[in-house]
Amino acid sequence: MKATTYELGGRAKPFPWLETALALYRTEVSDDIFSVSPTGTIGLFFQNVGTTRRQGLELSVRGTWRTWLDGWVNYTYTEATFQDDFLLATPRLTPGCEAPPCTQRVRKGNVLPLIPRHRLNAGIDYHAINWLTLSLGTTFASAQFFRGDEANEEKPLDSYVVVRAGLGVRWKRLAGYLWINNLLNAQYETFGTFAPNAKRPGNPIEPFLTPAPPINVIAGLSYQF
């Protein structure tokens, strides 16, 4: 496997309170090695799949209002595609195949699984007083194809939005933080593949999803010597 990357970027500060950065990139991977799971979750083998391409842009904007409010937005556009036509094993059932591993026809331009085309992170930090910061942030990820659906024939994972909130405190050498992740308790999946369902007669091959964590709290405390 050999990867060649081209990248062009720049930074600008059009106003004293605003910073921006933009990067364009393309990575060409020849003889890419692709992992394939013949039973969905048990066992892996690897297969060369010719050329793949990942290209896109990364944009970041950060602003500061006086000394008490910071805001930022990071956006990533990723176009990850196969650049050759070939046959690839898949754990899902395909026409004419009644038991895995089956074969799927991947065509030039098909999208690589589990890579969202659009991803956005945004947030604000409010410095209420010199030792306390309140934060609010969100993450958006667009739809993603399942692992095992390199041919892009099945319904993809849904896009999702996650909100988080937190606070940070600092007093002399002591610092602490508290984060509430998935503040709105959104239900979404971060991974999808195909696997046999042992709880049903005949162990039929079905979509297998990994749910994201529900609302959860993370806290920490540190002391600098």
Q: What is the pLDDT of residues 103-158, one digit of tens each?
A: 899 999 999 999 999 999 999 999 999 999 999 999 999 999 999 999 999 999 99
Q: How far is it, in rounded angstroms, from Cα 225 to Cα 210?
A: 41
Q: What is the pLDDT of residue 40?
A: 45
Confidence of residue 201 (pLDDT cuts 50, 70, 90): confident
Whether the CA torsion 187, 191, 192, 193 is positive or negative: it is: negative
pTM over 0.95: no
Domain ranges of the chain: 2-223
Residues contacting 121, CB < 8 A, separation 6+? 73, 74, 75, 137, 138, 139, 140
- Pick among 3.10.20.30, 2.40.170.20, 3.40.109.10, 2.40.30.10: CATH of 2-223: 2.40.170.20
